[in-house]
Chains A and B, each alone.
Chain A
Amino acid sequence: MNRILRRNETLVALLIILLSLGIGLINPTFFTVANVFDLLRSIIVTGIFAMGVLIVIVSGGIDLSFTAIAVFALYCTVRLMKAHAPDAPIWSAFVVAAVIGLGLGLINGFFIARFKFPTLIVTLGTLSLFEGFLLFAIGNQIIRDVPPALTGFARSSLVSLPSARGTTVLHPAILITAAVVLLVFFLLNYTTLGRGIYALGGAPEAAERAGFNVAHIQYFIYGFVGVLSGIAGMTFGSLARQANPQDIVGTELSVIAAVVLGGAQLTGGRGTVMGTILGVILVAIANNNLILIGMPTVWQRVVIGIIILIGTGLPAIQARRANKRLSGATSA
């Protein structure tokens, strides 16, 4: 089993290398620092989301509501800051957004852990619930003049290099993504809770008998994903320098696609941080760089669709062949 998993990651890595070489051969600007920085910037928010989605998928669930949680947390935080603490530092904005995300995530956790409802349906319902509540009761206008802490954060840079287009900047928000990635890696691989999440996704009943408290794990998962979503939403808003209540929602399926491309299996129990990052990078390359090889941007969705089908179809065919060989061997 481990071998297939590794194969899947190598497959994605191979796809990334082929795509990069192809694009780079046609247009050498692909390999410039500026382009790499652009690529990194585009995975800042998706990367955080993907870590949350990974945890949920490993546990055998699926979460559709994380985008709604993100935009809810972002918009409420900006409103709160503007009304009560316009000069609050940027870190406090992230804390508030994370707490709001935690609250909303725990609502998911409640329906999933208490009632054992299918996660897809609970989060489909809460997606509609959260987004509807935000737009109806809190606000539906774009906030453009965000507090100065946000604009300051948007302008900051981690590395800035002179380039053909002036200066190229790597935004420090990439450090948030890196921290989240490391945290999730540690959580999934080196903690009992992490092993519990894998166990839950592999076989819930066995996890329960092995002594894991399934309800507690589920509360943790959805609460934690809520926190990550809140942080991702805040990051998105501060990079965009605005809080648009109709942003972000609608991108959930492409994040899930990136995670699944990275080898996480929707049936649960399988998925790695490494694979997920590769999946996110692959989708980002396809998204950002088609224009570099002269492919009109209207083809973007078609290419992503084809990548999803290749990324999921090849393992499916492999698994089928392996199955056939197995059943052939036992019957012979």
Chain B
Amino acid sequence: MKAKTTPNSLTSRLPFDSQTLRLLVIAIVLFVGFSVMLRDQFFSVRNMQSMAVQLPEYGILALGMMIPMLTGGIDLSIVGSANLSAIVAALVLTRLAPAEGGGMSLALAIPLAILVALVVGSLCGLFNGFLVSKVGIVPILATLGTGSIYIGLSFVITGGPAITITQLAFIGNGTILGLPIPIIVFIALVIVYAIMLNRMAFGFNVYMLGTNAKAALFSGINATSVLVRTYWLAGVAAGIAGIIFLARTNSAKPDYGSSFILLAVLIAILGGISPTGGFGTVSGMVLAILSIQFLSTGLNMLMLNLFPSSAAIFFRQFAWGALLLLVMVLNYYEEQRRNRRISTSE
């Protein structure tokens, strides 16, 4: 109803603004470049599949980070929520259907464990939403605090060590029509996010709130409800990421993937999400996620070929930072050129 008639942000009318176009070019150049340099080491079905398994882990977290950032906030607790969800789900699974057998049937226990992960993620997200919208704590601090609590609770539950769990390996290793299951989950989430942000009133409200909170308030948008839903969605994404963690690593660890927080923010910025909120598209996010994956895998292979030492794996970290700064400098100069053109045409 309202959603259809809502005139949407620029982004839906111009799916390829110049920034998205540049990201597309970067992703293609990286892909083609590595394919030429590394030939079938990079350009092979096997490598495509292994990239498709690695990418959803942080890709889903980056998507989760996206909506809070669109509102001008951030969710630093996202990895904590993911790990807590994974640990509670792993616990449920090992209690209900122990690997030695004798419990509930797996066909019932697995959906239940997945549901539990989503519920835990939701609760984490709702608590963040409550702190940000009702209590009024700045998002970066609220989620810094809750992130510490969620990771802390994970440590309390496991007592420190990881919980080993193999019942979900079929999700991590499985494929449908040659596509690894994690990437299918990721693609589904991308579609849901694209619909939510571009075709639904909620998406419009998120952009509005991020562009101008005061104007949003005066135009009758219920900021509290939008913010609660924003952080709730981030929590759900974290829950899904938690299941992928479990399925990929066959274990639940309280401090798994702590570098993913900064990586998720980095991807969002690379993907054109404005850190002050209001601007950014799902297509930009997807291209940024792809670019980061191509860059990580390609550089890894290249460096291992060139310098067969243990140091090679660290090069990608350097490259991530360099890419982020490079893209920002490019954006800066393009904006300057555009401004100059506008001022001379007047």
Q: Interface residues, chain A, CB within 8 Å of chain B?
A: 64, 111, 115, 117-118, 120-122, 124-133, 135-137, 139-140, 250, 253-254, 256-257, 260, 266-267, 296, 298-306, 308-309, 312-313, 316-317, 319-320
Number of residues on chain B facing chain A (CB within 8 A): 48
Asked if B314 and A127 sit within 8 Å, CB to CB, the answer is: no
Q: How far is the CA of A171 from the CA of B316 in the complex (A)?
A: 39
Q: Which chain A residues lie closer than 8 Å to B141 at the CB level?
A: 257, 260, 266, 308, 312
B136's contact among A117, A253, A316, by CB below 8 Å, is which? Answer: A316
Asked if A132 and B320 sit within 8 Å, CB to CB, the answer is: yes
What are 21 A-B contacts defined by CB distance under 8 Å? Answer: A118-B276, A121-B328, A122-B325, A124-B265, A124-B269, A124-B324, A128-B266, A128-B318, A129-B318, A135-B314, A136-B311, A136-B312, A136-B314, A139-B311, A250-B258, A253-B76, A301-B155, A308-B145, A309-B145, A309-B149, A312-B145
Q: How far is the CA of A161 from the CA of B35 in the complex (A)?
A: 66
Nearest chain A CB to B41's CB is how many angstroms away?
Answer: 20
Query: Given A136-B314, A137-B318, 10 other A-B contacts at CB below 8 A?
Result: A125-B266, A128-B262, A129-B318, A137-B311, A266-B141, A267-B138, A302-B152, A305-B152, A308-B148, A313-B131
User: Which residue, of A129, A130, A136, A260, has the highest number of chain B Cβ atoms within 10 A?
Assistant: A136
Nearest chain A CB to B87's CB is how many angstroms away?
Answer: 13
Q: How far is the CA of A129 from the CA of B312 in the complex (A)?
A: 14
Across the A-B interface, how many residue pairs have beta carbons closer than 8 Å?
147
Q: Which chain B residues lie closer than 8 Å to A308 at the CB level?
A: 141, 144-145, 148
Q: Which chain B residues lie closer than 8 Å to A128 at the CB level?
A: 262, 266, 317-318, 320-321, 324
Asked if A304 and B131 sit within 8 Å, CB to CB, the answer is: no
Closest residue to A301 on the B side, CB-wise?
Answer: B152
Asked if B148 and A126 sit within 8 Å, CB to CB, the answer is: no
Q: How far is the CA of A114 from the CA of B29 in the complex (A)?
A: 29
Q: How far is the CA of A319 from the CA of B155 in the complex (A)?
A: 34
Q: Which chain B residues lie closer than 8 Å to A298 at the CB level?
A: 152, 155-156, 159-160
A316's contact among B135, B156, B319, B329, by CB below 8 Å, is which? Answer: B135
A117's contact among B140, B150, B303, B328, by CB below 8 Å, is which? Answer: B328
Asked if A129 and B322 sit within 8 Å, CB to CB, the answer is: yes
Q: Which chain B residues lie closer than 8 Å to A300 at the CB level?
A: 152
Asked if A132 and B316 sit within 8 Å, CB to CB, the answer is: yes
Asked if B138 and A131 sit within 8 Å, CB to CB, the answer is: no
Closest residue to B262 on the A side, CB-wise?
Answer: A124
Nearest chain B CB to A18's CB is how many angstroms away?
Answer: 19
Q: How far is the CA of A306 from the CA of B127 in the complex (A)?
A: 13
Given A129-B322, A140-B311, A316-B135: A305 touches B317 (CB 8 Å cut-off): no
B135's contact among A139, A254, A304, A317, by CB below 8 Å, is which? Answer: A317
Q: Interface residues, chain B, CB within 8 Å of chain A?
A: 76, 131, 135-138, 140-142, 144-153, 155-156, 159-160, 258, 262, 265-266, 269, 275-276, 303, 310-312, 314-322, 324-325, 328-329, 332
Closest residue to B148 on the A side, CB-wise?
Answer: A305
Q: Which chain A residues lie closer than 8 Å to B325 at the CB level?
A: 111, 122, 125-126, 129
Q: How far is the CA of A212 from the CA of B296 in the complex (A)?
A: 43
Q: How far is the CA of A296 from the CA of B159 in the complex (A)?
A: 9
Q: How far is the CA of A305 from the CA of B155 in the complex (A)?
A: 13
Asked if B311 and A305 sit within 8 Å, CB to CB, the answer is: no
Closest residue to A266 on the B side, CB-wise?
Answer: B138
Q: Which chain B residues lie closer than 8 Å to A133 at the CB level?
A: 318
Given A128-B318, A136-B314, A320-B136: A253 touches B144 (CB 8 Å cut-off): yes
Q: Which chain B residues lie closer than 8 Å to A302 at the CB level?
A: 148-149, 152-153, 156
Asked if A136 and B140 sit within 8 Å, CB to CB, the answer is: no
Asked if A306 and B145 sit within 8 Å, CB to CB, the answer is: yes
Nearest chain A CB to B101's CB is how many angstroms away?
Answer: 31
Asked if B152 and A317 sit within 8 Å, CB to CB, the answer is: no
Q: Which chain B residues lie closer than 8 Å to A115 at the CB level?
A: 328-329, 332
Q: How far is the CA of A131 from the CA of B322 in the complex (A)?
A: 12
Q: How far is the CA of A100 from the CA of B134 in the complex (A)?
A: 45
Q: Which chain A residues lie closer than 8 Å to B76 at the CB level?
A: 253
Q: How far is the CA of A253 from the CA of B258 in the complex (A)?
A: 12
Given A302-B156, A313-B135: A125 touches B144 (CB 8 Å cut-off): no
Nearest chain B CB to A118's CB is how many angstroms away?
Answer: 5
Q: How far is the CA of A296 from the CA of B156 in the complex (A)?
A: 9
Closest residue to A317 on the B side, CB-wise?
Answer: B135
Nearest chain A CB to B113's CB is how many angstroms away?
Answer: 23
Closest residue to A107 on the B side, CB-wise?
Answer: B325
Nearest chain A CB to B171's CB is how many angstroms away?
Answer: 29
Q: How far is the CA of A124 from the CA of B65 in the complex (A)?
A: 15
Asked if B140 and A266 sit within 8 Å, CB to CB, the answer is: yes
Q: How far is the CA of A126 from the CA of B322 in the complex (A)?
A: 8
Q: How far is the CA of A253 from the CA of B143 in the complex (A)?
A: 11
Asked if B318 and A136 sit within 8 Å, CB to CB, the answer is: yes
Nearest chain B CB to A306's CB is how many angstroms away?
Answer: 7
Closest residue to B325 on the A side, CB-wise?
Answer: A125
Q: Which chain A residues lie closer than 8 Å to B265 at the CB level?
A: 121, 124
Asked if B319 and A118 sit within 8 Å, CB to CB, the answer is: no
Asked if A127 and B155 sit within 8 Å, CB to CB, the answer is: no
Asked if A131 and B135 sit within 8 Å, CB to CB, the answer is: no
User: Which residue, of B312, B319, B321, has the highest number of chain A Cβ atoms within 10 A?
Assistant: B321
Q: How far is the CA of A267 from the CA of B311 in the complex (A)?
A: 39
User: Which residue, of A64, A129, A256, A317, has the highest number of chain B Cβ atoms within 10 A?
Assistant: A129
Q: How far is the CA of A253 from the CA of B151 in the complex (A)?
A: 14
Nearest chain A CB to B319's CB is how many angstroms away?
Answer: 7
Nearest chain A CB to B23's CB is how many angstroms away?
Answer: 16
Nearest chain A CB to B310's CB is how many angstroms away?
Answer: 6
Asked if A312 and B321 sit within 8 Å, CB to CB, the answer is: no
Q: Which chain A residues lie closer than 8 Å to B136 at the CB level?
A: 316-317, 319-320
Closest residue to A111 on the B side, CB-wise?
Answer: B325
Q: How far is the CA of A251 from the CA of B241 in the complex (A)?
A: 24
Q: How far is the CA of A102 from the CA of B149 in the complex (A)?
A: 35
Asked if B144 and A257 sit within 8 Å, CB to CB, the answer is: yes
Asked if A132 and B262 sit within 8 Å, CB to CB, the answer is: no
Nearest chain A CB to B338's CB is how many angstroms away?
Answer: 16
Q: How far is the CA of A304 from the CA of B146 in the complex (A)?
A: 10
Given A136-B315, A266-B141, A319-B136: A125 touches B275 (CB 8 Å cut-off): no
* The 9 nearest A-B residue pairs measured at CB: A132-B318, A301-B152, A129-B321, A132-B317, A128-B321, A305-B148, A302-B152, A305-B149, A308-B145
